[in-house]
Structure 1
Amino acid sequence: MSATQIYKHDQPFAFTRGGQLDAIELAYETWGELNEARSNAVLIHTGLSPSAHAASCAADPEEGWWEFMVGPGKPIDTERFFVICVNSLGSCKGSTGPASINPATGRPWRRAFPLLALEDIAAASRLVLRHLGVGQLCALVGPSMGGMTTLAHLRQDPMAARHLLSISSAPRAEPFSIAIRSLQREMIVTDPNWKDGQYSDDAWPENGMRLARKLGMVSYRSAIEWQDRFGRDQQSYYDEAWWGMRYEVESYLEAAARRFIGAFDPCSYLYLSSAMDRFDASAGCEDGLAEALADVRLDSALVIGVDTDVLFPARQQGEIARTLIQLGIDTRLEMLPSPQGHDAFLVDSDNFGSVVGGYFRSIAKRENIAP
């Protein structure tokens, strides 16, 4: 087990949509041990905002963003599997991105950073795998944006993995998701402190980030959950104004927004958000996703969705699963009845832990991977 490590790639990295950097750094963490056959490696592509710290370890006991999922005896069992999580290229959690220092200027890249694509995130993560001596993965795992990145990864390397776990993801962004993220970006760039990306630590576009996070939280969860959780209960945590801060749900959104304001760089958020909207796994293929993934050679796949997810709805999980089945891949679709919307994979440990744990036990049996 290890705390966050940095892989320094000291060669030019070309971006899909143009531009290149002379070098990049990628933050990653690992759990478990790579077996002698190098056959038990699992790569997690993350959602938009997480770091590489998916789970705690001896070197870093802080709880990870997927703590219930990754670890000894957990659904993705690190006593069997060597688990790798890479912080996305373009993020601000240790990997090179718009918040990183441009060596030519000594200042953050901000809007001078090359336009980012999910294909770039996949390609960068493949560099970490090569650095770690991992050839073919046992499994690719991708929740949310990470599931989109796994499709980019498989298009780049159809033999990249033998098994796939796609969670609450999509082959492309739908108009509703694009609309939400577009409004979030507009909230950030219309903040007076945005200054065309030249904001400072002393004049951060806080209000824009605050509103963007609130809108995000509305789309990440579900009305069903909030009715049961908050109802019309009132509160007094924050100063009340006539236009708001009267109800528990408002305080919930405010608390979530305040936690996020200083935890994520605004420019990185825009770059990653835009990359999601531009992604189309079937780009350039007249016959759609089946043509795009025609060369993929997976042994099995599990596609999981949530019935209350409005960002990545059930029909998108169905399209991924149907395509993989059409390609002759042993594929199972699980639509889980969770009230927690898109974020269910982060918080609904009972539903997700059971299904994911069962899948990885079946992989271990199929691959003869012993603890």
Structure 2
Amino acid sequence: MVADARQYCALPSPFPMKRGGALHGARVAYETWGTLNAARDNAILVLTGLSPSAHMMSCAADPSPGWWEGMAGPGKAIDSSRWFVICVNSLGSDKGSTCPASANPATGEPYRLDFPELSLEDVANAAHVVVRSLDIERLACLVGCSMGGMAALAYMLLHPGTVRTHISVDTAPQAQPFAIAIRSLQREAIRLDPQWANGGYDIHGAGEHYPDMGMSIARKLGVITYRSAMEWNGRFARIRLDAEQREEQQPFGFEFQVESYLEGHARRFVRSFDPNSYLYLSRASDWFDTAEYGGGNVMEGMKRIRVERALVIGVSTDILFPLEQQEQIAEGLEAAGAAVDFVALDSPQGHDAFLVDIENYSRAIAGFLAKL
């Protein structure tokens, strides 16, 4: 039996969605670490990127390494011996939360494409329900990474006064054309796979009818943009596969190590994440725009966020959420009255640096939290 530290929070029923429709009997998965103090003011909420679960770090109930294991835990940058840490699995994700693969209570069958249109505001509102269910009125800090950083901005816009400080990690106040274009191609790869069957594939990869090829291409496109050209050159250069590793029997088969690396990455991912959930969360990322809260102006939207202090971290090699967007977040929060620390890192790992360059990100995050 696999250990599982997941807890579940029931959402109000109906749970209204920003773009119309509502969910009934929905829930979100989350995990917690540390102890909530008597004043209930030492809570840190972490919102994740598109695909991670709520298992951010290991614990007694689930000792397996979490997706941010190097960053969080006793004595680490996000110190669970000091803070009560909460990580929520996004609404719409298949890692325990209600999603397109979940049963629609109205039919008893999976929602599939009958799942209501999903926005990051819905993700934020669901996370806020979790926080309130724990009887926490105000977070000591809200941390958002990648897509979770956009959801964190939505959280603070929709629930003013509920967050004391904020850590923004490799994210954006709105999707830019390059990011939209990449995610559009990822969704197209899935939709054009005949096995996607208009969302009717075998749920949870339980059978033969599953869009493996579409998911594989989508993942490869993602991985290419998560890292930088500098890292690809440094890791692989133009090194060719050994003769026995090449697909010589296949026309135009793999010849270079970088191709084999992407294939291995894709194989590990393909059946570990629900394709329809991927489509919904990807599109929600494209839709998010703080300008909606500022009369069509991003800076005016950012000015509506009220926190005491903020740390904004970006990396110069990130092509998906470029450094200019981190600067925009920092300027907006500062204009709103926050004391802002802006950290620009030169990590070669690109967008994924926050998962890889733990030393530099830890230094910035630990330094910020030490001031609180």
Q: What is residue 368 of structure 1 aligned with on the other side? A: none
Instruction: Map 1:308-319 to 2 at 5 A.
Output: 308-319=317-328
Q: What is residue 53 of structure 2 aligned with on the other side? A: 51
Q: What is residue 248 of structure 1 aligned with on the other side? A: 257
Structure 2: distance between partners of 1:67 and 1:238: 35
Structure 2: distance between partners of 1:194 and 1:175: 26
Structure 2: distance between partners of 1:233 and 1:112: 46
RMSD, matched Cα: 1.3
**1:235 matches 2:241:** yes
How far does residue 105 in structure 1 lie from its aligned partner after superposition? Answer: 2.2
How far does residue 291 in structure 1 lie from its aligned partner after superposition? Answer: 2.9
Structure 1: distance between partners of 2:238 and 2:116: 46
- Give structure 1 stretches of 5+ with no counterpart: 364-371
1:108 is paired with a residue whose SS is coil
Q: What is residue 6 of structure 2 aligned with on the other side? A: 4
Contact 2:30 2:86 in 1 (8 A): yes
**1:29 matches 2:35:** no
Alpha-carbon distance change, 335 to 117 in structure 1, aligned in 2, over 3 angstroms: same
How far does residue 290 in structure 1 lie from its aligned partner after superposition? Answer: 3.8
Q: What is residue 300 of structure 2 aligned with on the other side? A: 291
Structure 1: distance between partners of 2:36 and 2:369: 16
Match of 1:339 among 332, 337, 348: 348
1:30 is paired with a residue whose SS is strand
**1:278 matches 2:278:** no
Match of 1:322 among 327, 331, 338: 331
How far does residue 285 in structure 1 lie from its aligned partner after superposition? Answer: 2.2
Structure 1: distance between partners of 2:44 and 2:246: 44
2:311 is paired with a residue whose SS is strand
When the two structures are superposed, what TM-score results if normalisation uses the length of structure 2?
0.95
Q: What is residue 197 of structure 1 aligned with on the other side? A: 199
How far does residue 242 in structure 1 lie from its aligned partner after superposition? Answer: 4.2
Q: Which amino acid aligns with 2:341?
A: R
Q: What is residue 367 of structure 1 aligned with on the other side? A: none
When the two structures are superposed, what TM-score results if normalisation uses the length of structure 1?
0.95
Structure 2: distance between partners of 1:102 and 1:263: 21
Q: Which amino acid aligns with 1:239?
A: E
Deviations 1:126-158 (Å, cap 9, x if unpaired)? 110111111100000001001100110011112
**1:206 matches 2:208:** no
Structure 2: distance between partners of 1:266 and 1:244: 26
Q: Which amino acid aligns with 1:13?
A: F
Contact 1:98 1:267 in 2 (8 A): yes
**1:216 matches 2:225:** no
**1:174 matches 2:180:** no
Structure 2: distance between partners of 1:286 and 1:6: 37
Match of 2:189 among 187, 190, 208: 187
Deviates more, 1:211-220 or 1:4-13: 4-13
Structure 2: distance between partners of 1:212 and 1:295: 35
Structure 1: distance between partners of 2:273 and 2:305: 35
Q: Which amino acid aligns with 2:254?
A: M
2:371 is paired with a residue whose SS is helix
Q: What is residue 124 of structure 2 aligned with on the other side? A: 122
- Give structure 2 stretches of 5+ with no counterpart: none
Deviations 1:9-64 (Å, cap 9, x if unpaired)? 35210000000012211100001000111110000011100000011101100110
2:219 is paired with a residue whose SS is helix
Contact 2:24 2:105 in 1 (8 A): no
Q: Which amino acid aligns with 2:149?
A: G
Structure 2: distance between partners of 1:50 and 1:63: 12
Match of 1:304 among 313, 325, 328: 313
1:166 is paired with a residue whose SS is strand
Contact 1:5 1:29 in 2 (8 A): yes
Contact 2:239 2:256 in 1 (8 A): yes
Contact 1:33 1:81 in 2 (8 A): yes
Contact 1:244 1:250 in 2 (8 A): no
How far does residue 181 in structure 1 lie from its aligned partner after superposition? Answer: 0.2
How far does residue 80 in structure 1 lie from its aligned partner after superposition? Answer: 0.6
1:282 is paired with a residue whose SS is helix
Match of 2:141 among 139, 142, 152: 139
Structure 2: distance between partners of 1:261 and 1:362: 42
Aligned length in residues: 362
Alpha-carbon distance change, 10 to 330 in structure 1, aligned in 2, over 3 angstroms: closer
Q: Which amino acid aligns with 1:76?
A: I
Match of 2:160 among 158, 161, 174: 158
How far does residue 360 in structure 1 lie from its aligned partner after superposition? Answer: 1.3
Of all paired residues, the percent bearing the same amino acid is 53
Structure 2: distance between partners of 1:21 and 1:156: 19
